[in-house]
Structure 1
Amino acid sequence: MTLNDTLTNVLIGDSSNDILSLIGRGTGILIGFGGDDTLTSSINGQKPGSQLFGNRGQDYLESKGIGDTVFGGRDGDTIFNETGQAVLSGDRGRDSLFGEEGNYILLGGLGDDYAFVKEAENLFIGHEGDDRFIGEGGLDTAIGGDGDDNLQGNGRSILAGNAGKDTLESRAVGNDEDSLLGGRDGDYLLVGSTSNADNPVLLGEEGNDRLRVQGTQVDAALLIGDGTDAGDDRLFVAGGNRHLLFGNRGDDELELGEVGSGVELLGGKGKDRLTGKAVGNELFASGDEGNDNLNLSASGAQLWGDNPNATENFGNDVVRGVGNNNRLAGDNDNAATANGGNDELVAVGSNNLLLGFSGNDELTSEGSGGGNTLIGGVGNDTYTFQEGDIIPFDDDGINIYIGNNADRTPVTLQSDDSLSGRATFIVLGDENRFINIEGGGVVVGSGIDRIEIQMASGLTDAGGGNDTLEFETVSGTVRGGDGNDVMTVSGRAGLTSTGRISGGDGDDTLSITRVAGTVEAGAGDDSLTFETISPNAFISTGNGDDLAALGIVGDGVRIDGDDGNDSLTLSGLGTADDATPTTLSGGDGSDTLGIASSATVGTNTAALVIDAGVGDDFLQGRQYAGDRLLGGNGNDTLFGGVGNLDEWKNVAGSLRANTGTVFTDGDILSGGAGADIFLFTDDRQTARTEVGTVGSGVTVAPGAVIGTSGQTVESATGTNVGDIGTVNPALHVDTITDFNFSEGDRIIVNENDIGFSISGTGVDFIVFSGGTLLGNLDATPNNSGDFIFANFPGFPVAGTSQGVISYDRQTGGLYFGSGGDPDSMSLLVVLSNRPNLTQSPIVALPENDPSAIRFF
Structure 2
Amino acid sequence: MTIIHGTNSNDYLYGGDESDTIKGFAGYDYLYGGLGDDYLYGGLDNDKLYGGLGNDKLYGGEGNDNLNGEQGNNSLYGEAGDDTLDAGNSTGNNLLDGGEGNDEIYVYSSSGNNTLKGGVGNDILDVRFSYGKNILDGGSGNDQLYARYSQGNNTLRGGSGDDYLGVDLSAGNNVLNGDDGNDILDVSYQWKGKNIVSGGNGNDIFYAYGVQGANTLNGGSGDDSFYISSPSADTVVHPLVTQTVDGGIGNDYLYIDYSTAIAGITSSFNTTTKQGLITADTNQVRYKNIERLNIIGTSHDDIIVGGNSDDIIDGGSGGNDTLNGGAGNDILIIRDNSRSHNTVYGGAGNDSLYANGTAGTNLLDGGDGNDYLSAKNNYSYFFNASQTLIGGAGDDTLDVSGSYGNNFLYGGAGNDFLYADYSVGLHRLDGGDGDDYLSAKSSSSRFIINTHILDGGAGNDILDVGSARAKNKLMGGTGDDILIGGLNEDTFVFKNYHEGVDRIYNFDHLDRIQICAVGFGGDLSPDSLSVGQFTLGTVATTNDQRFIYDTSTGALYFDQDGNGSGFNQVKFAQLDGIPSLSVSNFVVV
TM normalised by structure 1 equals 0.43
Give the 5 Å matches for 1:577-596: none
Query: 2:99·2:118 contact (CA, 8 Å) conserved in 1?
Result: yes
Q: Which residue of 2 aligns with 1:490?
A: 486
Give CA-to-partner distance per residue, 1:318-365, whole Å, 9 cap, x none: 73647564856454xxxxxxxxx5x242526263645453xx423232
Where structure 2 has 5 or more consecutive residues not aligned to the other structure, the ranges are: 232-238, 260-264, 277-287, 379-385, 401-406, 422-426, 446-450, 518-524, 531-589
Q: Which residue of 2 aligns with 1:152?
A: 106
1:185 Cα deviation from its structure 2 partner = 0.3
Pair 328,486 (structure 1): closer, same or farther in 2 beyond 3 Å: closer
Q: Quick check: 1:437 aligned with 2:419?
A: yes
Partner of 1:319: 294
**420, 441, 463: which is aligned to 2:398?**
420
Contact in 2 for aligned 1:363/1:381 (Cα 8 Å) = no
| RMSD across aligned positions (CA) | 5.2
Alignment pair present for 1:363 and 2:331? yes
1:316, 1:452 → 2: CA distance?
38
Whichever residue aligns with residue 442 of structure 1, its letter is L
The higher radius of gyration belongs to 1
1:452 maps to which of 419, 422, 439: 439
Other-structure match for 1:269: 221
Q: Kindly provide the amino acid, as one letter, of the partner of residue 75 in structure 2.
A: L
The answer to whether 1:232 aligns with 2:172 is no
> In 2, distance between residues paired with 1:199 and 1:478?
72
Distance 1:477 1:180 in 2: 73
User: 1:225, 1:188 → 2: CA distance?
Assistant: 13
Paired with 2:464 and 2:416, the residues of 1 have a C-alpha distance of: 11
Say yes or no: does 1:545 pair with 2:528: yes
Quote the offset at 1:60 in angstroms: 0.2
Q: Deviations over 1:46-66 (max 9, x none)?
A: xxxxxxxxxxx735031412x
Does 2:136 match 1:180? yes
In structure 1, runs of 5+ residues without a counterpart are: 1-27, 37-56, 332-340, 496-500, 526-541, 548-856
- The residue aligned with 2:367 is 394
CA distance in 2 between partners of 1:199 and 1:389 (Å): 49
Q: Which residue of 2 aligns with 1:298?
A: 258
Could you tell me how far apart the structure 1 residues matched to 2:395 and 2:211 are?
Answer: 42
Q: 1:399 to 1:219 in 2, by over 3 A?
A: farther
Q: Deviations over 1:461-515 (max 9, x none)?
A: 62878997543669999795999999877379x99xxxxx9979789999999x9
Quick one: which amino acid aligns to residue 462 of structure 1? D
Cα distance per residue 1:157-179 (max 9 Å; x no partner): 22221211111112224x43543
Cα distance in 1, alignment partners of residues 471 and 352 from structure 2 = 23
Kept in 2, the 8 Å contact 1:188–1:211? The answer is: yes
Identity of aligned residues (%): 20
Deviation at 1:412, TM superposition (A): 3.9
Q: Offset at 1:151?
A: 0.7
Residue 188 of structure 1, CA deviation: 1.6
Amino acid at match of 1:105: K
Counterpart CA distance in 1 for 2:81 and 2:341 is 60
Checking the alignment, whether the CA contact within 8 Å between 1:347 and 1:354 is kept in structure 2 is no
Matched residue of 2:332: which SS?
A: strand
Question: SS in structure 1 opposite 2:528?
Answer: coil
Correspondence 1:30 to 2:14: no
| Aligned counterparts of 2:453 and 2:250: Cα–Cα separation in 1 | 44
Compare the two structures and name the one with the higher strand fraction.
Answer: 1
Structure 1 contact 107–125 (Cα < 8 Å) conserved: yes
Q: How far 1:148 moved relative to its partner? A: 1.2
8 Å contact kept, 1:244–1:263: yes
Q: Would the alpha carbon gap of residues 505 and 186 (structure 1) be closer, same or farther in structure 2, given more than 3 Å must change?
A: same
Check the 8 A contact 1:118/1:137 in 2, yes or no. Answer: yes
The answer on 1:382 being equivalent to 2:347 is no
Give deviations 1:14-61, integer Å, cap 9, x for gaps: xxxxxxxxxxxxxx443537566xxxxxxxxxxxxxxxxxxxx73503
| 1:64 is the counterpart of 2:17 | yes
- In the TM superposition, what whole-angstrom CA distance separates every residue of 1:671-690 from its partner, at most 9, and x where no partner exists? xxxxxxxxxxxxxxxxxxxx
1:166 aligns with 2:123: yes
TM-score by length of 2: 0.59
1:345 aligns with 2:298: no
Distance 1:223 1:406 in 2: 50
Q: What is the alpha-carbon distance in structure 1 between the residues aligned to residue 298 and residue 143 of structure 2?
A: 34
User: In structure 2, what is the Cα distance between the partners aligned to 1:353 and 1:452?
Assistant: 28
Give the secondary-structure state (helix, strand or coil) at the position aligned to 2:486.
strand
CA contact (8 A) 1:277 1:297 kept: yes
2:166 matched to which residue of 1? 212
In 2: Cα distance, 1:89 partner to 1:32 partner: 10
* Preserved contact between residue 187 and residue 210 of structure 1 (Cα < 8 Å): yes
Shift in Å, 1:149: 1.2
Structure 1 CA distance, aligned partners of 2:152 and 2:363? 42
The residue type paired with residue 347 of structure 1 is D
Aligned residue among 102, 118, 129 for 2:70: 118
Which of 364, 376, 388 does residue 410 from structure 1 map onto? 388
